[in-house]
Amino acid sequence: MNADIFSDLPEGIQPTNVVEFYGVEGCGKTEMLIHLIASSILPKTWKDLALHGCEVSVIFIDTDYHFNLVRLIKVLEQRILKAIRIIQQSHGETNSKALSSYPEKYNDLNQFVKSCLDRLYIIRCNSSLELLASTASLEQLLAAKPGVSIIMIDSIGAFYWVDKSTFGESSNDQDRNQNRVVLLLSKYVKDFQLILIATKHAIFESSSFDKNSHREYLCPAWQRLVNYRYKFECFGGAHCSQPTFIAKRIFPKSSKSFKFSINDSGIKFDTR
């Protein structure tokens, strides 16, 4: 996977890599997953359009219930519209910027989008026990669907506070389900040569002024599994009509930051 956010890695994200997107609520983590899903399930081309997709299947485990399928469909449609504009511009059609509907040539677009969505498997969990049960059942799906190349979890630490209140101060009891989930994920990543991408909320405010600061609260097994950690931040917030988002790799540490914005078409990276 050679998405823009991974361009600081010479070979991009490779099979068996585990990536964590870390940050407070509202800093663009889920939106980045939608961006990556679209890039994954789209093919490289469709008809005469260059879509630059990977044409692979994705398992999306939703524990925060932030995932919006309508939003994903909108992003897919906007990418196709953009590809149509590029084709029309190459043919010298000056009204291509005003394109808001699909030419007759692409009247089977809805069926095409549906075929892309067939590569996405969504699993929703309400508790760490459900997450464990769902993760344990993945092996059968992975064996039956060799096209699956990516597992995404939004988010891996969703049940931290619920488990903490259930198990009290016993970290061993609290980590029990986490450890089992991580053990299974580690096995699948290796056995099926998968990429794993998970979001994690920054639920503790750090007193450090270091922008690379990260306060861990998940089990040590997860900490050992992660190959790359990106910290997401939002500047502007609710009081800004166009907030700016920044993602930076803080493990292993990188000096490069990725600035992006979010609009109706999805994520747009600032290439300046």
Tokens 């910027």, residue? 97
Can you give the C-alpha Rg of the chain in angstroms? 20
Instruction: Count how many Cα atoms sit within 13 Å of the Cα of residue 208 in the half-sphere of its side chain.
Output: 8
Tokens describing residue 147 = 């096209």
Residues forming beta bridges with residue 62, ordered by sequence position:
124, 154
Q: Rounded to whole angstroms, how far apart are CA atoms 155 and 194? A: 18
Q: Rounded to whole angstroms, how far apart are CA atoms 205 and 26? A: 15
Containing 191, the helix (H) or strand (E) segment is: helix 171-191
pLDDT in tens, the chain (272 residues): 667 899 889 889 999 999 999 999 999 999 999 999 999 999 999 999 999 999 999 999 999 999 999 999 999 999 999 999 998 888 776 554 455 566 788 889 999 999 999 999 999 999 999 999 999 999 999 999 999 999 999 999 999 888 888 876 666 767 888 999 999 999 999 999 999 999 999 987 654 445 567 888 999 999 999 999 999 999 876 566 789 999 999 999 999 999 999 998 899 998 76
**Cβ atoms 196, 18 nearer than 8 A:** yes
CA-closest candidate to residue 56, choices 148, 139, 129, 137: 148
- Provide the total of helices (H) and of strands (E) in the chain, helices listed first: 8, 11
**Cβ atoms 17, 249 nearer than 8 A:** no
Tokens describing residue 209 = 């002024």
- Number of neighbours of residue 208 by Cβ within 10 angstroms: 10
CA-closest candidate to residue 226, choices 185, 256, 176, 193: 185
What amino acid is encoded at 263 in this protein? N
